[in-house]
Amino acid sequence: MRRFIAEFGASWNLIIEYRVMVVIWMLTIVLPLIMLAAWLSIAEKGPVGSYDRMTFISYYLAALVVRNMTGMWFIWEMDSEMRLGSLSFRLLKPMDPIVHYFAYACSSKPFRVFILGPASVVALLVFPGLNWSVDPLSLLLFVTSLAGALLILFLMQYTIGLTGFWITRSLSINDAWFFTYSLASGYLVPLDLFPPVIRDVLWLLPFRYTMSFPVELLMGRLSVREIVIGIAIQWIWVAAMYALNRWVWRRGLRRYSAVGA
């Protein structure tokens, strides 16, 4: 834990050093707003499924918050460390590098809360009809589901980064992964608007639990039963991703020490 705090502290200082850059990064997350604009014009003639215009606004503003709170980009750093060989230094320390990358991935989050908190209050004032449940229990569930989403996304990206032990360009896998994530998580289109069969399949895959699930929690669209099952599936995916990650890590290390650091 002390190691995590030290690593986090260093990354946090990087964030402070580059606070303007972080704000710009936050502003570049515009995909939900573009989707929102498109759906608003479609929904002008009447609701789409169970989504009317205000539901779309609630959905995509929530998606914007979730993306900011769970998005991470440390794979770029991993990639360069692997290719330039500075990963060797991490392997020579008595600490698993996962601690470093996790701290690095989390370090911008407090900064984002600091900006998104007030922004959300403004949103609630501007759109009095916003369907966000902001009672303490819903917020607690929302934050819990954000933590699960963050862990799944971290472990997915870290595992993809580790494929760099075998192929030099893990970033291209990451691009393919992002495409899948955008479609299957509800980031582009609410999962409720998919045909029921597809929707049911997507409910079992990990992607929903990185985006749509927290968004639906915040919007109060889920029954108690759906919430309990959702949290269970989410944390099963966290455990499965962790197991997969450790397996890939051990194999990758063996390969790294065989073919050259």
d(CA 186, CA 198): 12
Is residue 86 within the footprint of another protein (CB under 8 A)?
yes
- Which ranges of 185-211 does DSSP label H, i.e. alpha helix? 196-204
Q: Which is nearer to another protein, 27 or 258 (CB)?
A: 258
Q: Residue 50, interface with another protein (CB under 8 A)?
A: no
How far apart, in whole angstroms, are the C-alpha atoms of residue 176 and residue 179?
5
Size of site (CB under 8 A) for another protein: 26
- Decide if residue 140 touches another protein (CB under 8 A): no
CB neighbour burial string for 81-118, b if at least 16 within 10 angstroms, e if fewer: bbeeeebeeeeeeeeebbbbbbbbbbbbbebbeeebee
Give 29-62 as a DSSP string.
--HHHHHHHHHHHHGGGS-BTTB-HHHHHHHHHH
Query: What mask, x for binding another protein by CB under 8 A, covers residues 170 to 199?
Result: ------------------------------
Among 189-197, 225-233, 234-242, 251-259, which window interacts with another protein (CB under 8 A)?
A: 251-259
Q: Which of residues 92-131 bind another protein (CB under 8 A)?
A: 92-95
Would you count residue 89 as binding another protein (CB under 8 A)? yes
Interface with another protein by CB under 8 A: which residues?
Answer: 2-3, 5-7, 9-10, 13-14, 17-18, 84-86, 88-89, 91-95, 257-261
